[in-house]
Chain A
């Protein structure tokens, strides 16, 4: 069972603050982490490998400092880690990113399963996983909360709006996983030692034989033209009085707003 996990290094958005004077993001001191959903993807890959044997390869596309996220994956127990990094990838949107990752996966060669987190917490698009599946012509199963592999097939449960759907798909396939699927393990001391010493392969656009007009800015049909901070909600009203007064007043206010 060879499994490829695609991860992204993201800023810990929980620690992103807005500077009230300039209305911009304060990035100083905000640590970079593995996208939390991708930690679940790594955990699921390790769990399946521990049952079925094989190898877990973690890949990421990003600047050189993204190797930190790869080392953290190795510390968790991944067997191999590959960084895809090149100035040519800058400005990639989800289409160009999924293309580049799909090229790298082709380069890596044989695999049975690709696992991605459902989305990254900085962009929240949930588009790269299915994009990779499309570039590689693989069946996809998104928002997976439970997996089992048997007889060359994956049996997966998808977490939908108000129900779960059980599907079976032939391998190779691509799945994206939700937080509820597992509890990511902590890195072991041995894992950390190994990760520290590990040599991380870096692949350039040329190494993955990417077509020049499909990566980076050229390969990205979308671009950002404006970034702004949402107007603060503000104007909130804290009600006062006894419980009876506060709830009566709230019910009236909701009625005035046409809500109840």
Chain B
């Protein structure tokens, strides 16, 4: 067992009891006692204890690696149909800060069809010192096997200390596979990254329990330290066309394993005009719309604001709108500059998917709806009056 209470230091103050997410601690005879059958060794109590009275032993964690061999920060530059995805550029903005704190280079990794080569310069303009480029006709669309295989071999060859990847469907599929192959740590869906000033390791902060708590996670003994990062949380650097960098072309070597999973078709959803994950502004509709045809009100406001159309799970389940619009734990987690919730009560699953948005506007006729608790601005009123009026006001303002 790796956890123990140091009885000499424990004063029975009870701070650790509520801190335990598993309810595994009780105080007996003024000392904390940990129920080992329930304890998950998550470390919450260690953090909560003001007296350093609880410790988790972490000796001999995995095989030793020569950590000093690993240098540099890498960002996976996700592309879709030849277009660089915004999340990759955001990660370059964040990666530049991390690289600066470590005094190392920032590199981007770009895979795609041969025509993607012209986008490598763009990554340099957004902050990359180097771009590792692998092109082949078969790489035009993301597929797990070739992408994970090629990036794993790049990591083994060049040994970066940090690799960050967008927490998109592609990024999550890819990062999990790479991390398991290299046997390194991977932290999912981070909303905060920082370099620990003393240890020089990556502090990775992410929401858990549906956003009810935040956890900061380290990967001290393995390299690279890998994280997927939620789109729209990090800020892009200013584009600078004068920036210079190096493009390093790596050869693509086909493998039989790449061909096991074949992509046979792509079904476009013509109702999606702006991709939710890429959107700066999202206007979402909920059950309060009453009827699928009323999504027109949401679409009009989204169009006036230049944003995407989102939806609550209830409306998707009812078949009012396609799944690609769904925001929340079951759908997409979004973090736009502006999120407008119309006729959405704000079930915890919905809040988990949007509560980290910069500015939240809630429009709902029920003043007690939980959505108002996370709203920056709330309007208690009939959405059928408020939404069209707001659309007009925005149009007037924008001329």
Contacts and interface: CB of A to CB of B under 8 A. Distances in A.
Interface of A: 11, 13-14, 16, 18-19, 22, 24-25, 27-28, 36, 63-64, 87, 90-91, 93-95, 98, 121-127, 129-131, 133-135, 139-143, 145, 155, 157-170, 173, 178-180, 213, 216-230, 233, 235-239, 243-244, 246-248, 250-255, 257, 259-260
Provide the main secondary structure of the chain B interface: mixed
Interface in B216-234: 216-219, 221-222
B58 A217 contact: yes
B332 interface: yes
A163 B18 CA distance: 44
A157 B39 CA distance: 39
B40 A90 contact: yes
Contact of B180 (A130, A228, A259): A130
Given A25-B209, A166-B264, A166-B266, A243 B386 contact: yes
A6 B180 CA distance: 17
Contacts, number: 312
Interface string B183-227: 111111100000000000001000111111111111101100000
A239 B187 contact: no
A223 B144 contact: no
Interface stretch (B128-136, B255-263, B292-300): B255-263
Contacts of A160: 169-170
Nearest to B187: A222
B239 interface: no
Contact of A133 (B39, B56, B177): B177
Contacts of A126: 172, 176, 188
A139 B177 CA distance: 10
B375 to A, nearest CB: 5
B83 interface: no
A248 B393 contact: yes
Nearest to A168: B262
A225 B43 contact: yes
Interface string B296-334: 000000000100000000001000000110000110100
Interface string B163-174: 000001110110
A164 B269 CA distance: 8
Nearest to B264: A166
A25 B213 CA distance: 8
A164 B60 contact: no
Interface size class of B (residues with CB under 8 A): 35 or more
B277 interface: yes
Given A163-B324, A227-B43, A239-B378, A142 B386 contact: no
B41 A91 contact: yes
Given A213-B62, A223-B217, A166 B169 contact: no
Contacts of A221: 61-62, 183-185, 219, 221-222
Contacts of B181: 134
A101 to B, nearest CB: 12
A222 B185 contact: yes
B60 to A, nearest CB: 6
Nearest to A252: B397
A157 B267 contact: yes
A222 to B, nearest CB: 4
A27 B23 contact: yes
Contacts of A131: 176, 179-180
Contacts of B372: 236, 238
A248 B210 CA distance: 34
Interface in B116-170: 144-145, 168-170
Contacts of B324: 159, 161-163
A93 B185 contact: yes
Contacts of B145: 139
Contacts of B389: 243-244, 247
A181 B234 CA distance: 32
Interface string B51-67: 00000111011110000
A253 to B, nearest CB: 6
B296 to A, nearest CB: 18
A185 B3 CA distance: 41
B169 A142 contact: yes
Interface stretch (B103-111, B245-253, B347-355): B347-355
A131 B21 CA distance: 25
A139 B42 contact: no
A230 B215 CA distance: 10
Given A94-B176, A127-B172, A167-B261, 18 more contacts: A27-B21, A27-B23, A91-B56, A95-B179, A125-B189, A130-B176, A139-B145, A140-B177, A162-B272, A170-B260, A217-B61, A223-B58, A228-B214, A233-B375, A236-B375, A237-B376, A238-B380, A260-B305
Interface in B359-399: 359-361, 367, 372-381, 385-386, 389-390, 392-394, 396-398
A227 B21 contact: yes
